[in-house]
Chain A
Amino acid sequence: MRRDIFQAIADPTRRAIITLIALQAMTPNALAEHFDTTRQAVSKHLKILTECELVKQEQQGREIYYSLKIDKMKEIDQWLEQFKKIWETRFNQLDDLLVTIKNTK
């Protein structure tokens, strides 16, 4: 199954996990303490986030620490920025048209 960043942020628990690990790398146990859910559920979300290539894992001793791939999050902002540009262009054209109409009156 193909996964992408939009599936990653589609779930509220995953969004919360993203927010937490954006600040510092965390273990699944430490993350689970922030939620009314089992460690297994947190691990499942981390698995999806990993498949979305949004998080990276690092082994430290016996623990696995999860952290956020910031570059991947930027992809979301990049396409939103494109969308914003479309609107800017469209509105500038409307400015242009309004000026033209007012000048011909």
Chain B
Amino acid sequence: MNSNLQFDFLVDKEMNTIKVRREFSANQQLVWDCYTKKELLDQWFAPKPLSTKTKSMDFSRGGHWHYAMVEPNGTEYWGWTTFLEIKPIDYYTSTDAFSDADGNINIELPQAVWRVSFVTKDENTVVETIVTYDSLEDLEAVIQMGMKDGLTSTLERLDELLIILK
């Protein structure tokens, strides 16, 4: 992990929000592209060992991103993001829901509202993500959706990979 880059993870249990702030060593346009283009999103969004697979994406107001996070054994977790407000390259807001492969939203699982904003800081870009759930129980349910094992060892492997790449 690059310890020079800012990473804040703040949980407000009373407001049911998670605020994540992270600095990236790239310009604002490039980081924006990584968040808003499917061919780039597919390369980083799902935390390893999961991978990302986009079925369709229309990055516009009212548009959507229909994607799956895929386990190594092939199990797919489908998601449907609806884009609400977009102001390139400063911010966008969206709702994030679970769906099936056909894009039917699962209304029994929690939905979250995302606000993702981008700010230039010297040569770098700071991305702030605010995720708001209806309740803490919703947040708990999301975390229990299978993403739990092996993350620590994955992180260590990634650190090694990053050192090799740089």
**Which A residues contact B (CB, under 8 angstroms)?**
6-7, 9-10, 12, 15, 76, 79-80, 82-102
Contact = CB atoms under 8 A, between A and B. Distances in A.
Interface residues of B, number: 43
A100 B165 contact: yes
B166 interface: yes
Contact of B30 (A88, A89, A90, A101): A101
Interface in B14-68: 14, 18, 20, 22, 24-26, 30-31, 34, 40, 43-48
In terms of DSSP, what is the predominant structure of the interface of chain A? helix
26 contacts: A6-B137, A10-B136, A79-B144, A82-B143, A82-B147, A83-B139, A84-B9, A85-B152, A86-B47, A87-B20, A89-B154, A89-B155, A90-B47, A92-B162, A93-B158, A94-B34, A95-B24, A96-B158, A96-B162, A97-B40, A97-B43, A98-B24, A98-B30, A99-B165, A99-B166, A101-B30
B34 A89 contact: no
B40 A6 contact: no
Contacts of A101: 26, 30, 34, 40
B136 A97 contact: no
Across chains A and B, which 5 residue pairs bring their CB atoms closest together, nearest first?
A: A89-B47, A93-B44, A98-B26, A85-B151, A94-B44
B91 interface: no
A83 B135 contact: no
Contacts, number: 97
In terms of DSSP, what is the predominant structure of the interface of chain B? mixed
Interface of B: 1-2, 5, 7, 9, 11, 13-14, 18, 20, 22, 24-26, 30-31, 34, 40, 43-48, 135-137, 139-140, 143-144, 147-148, 151-152, 154-155, 158-159, 161-162, 165-166
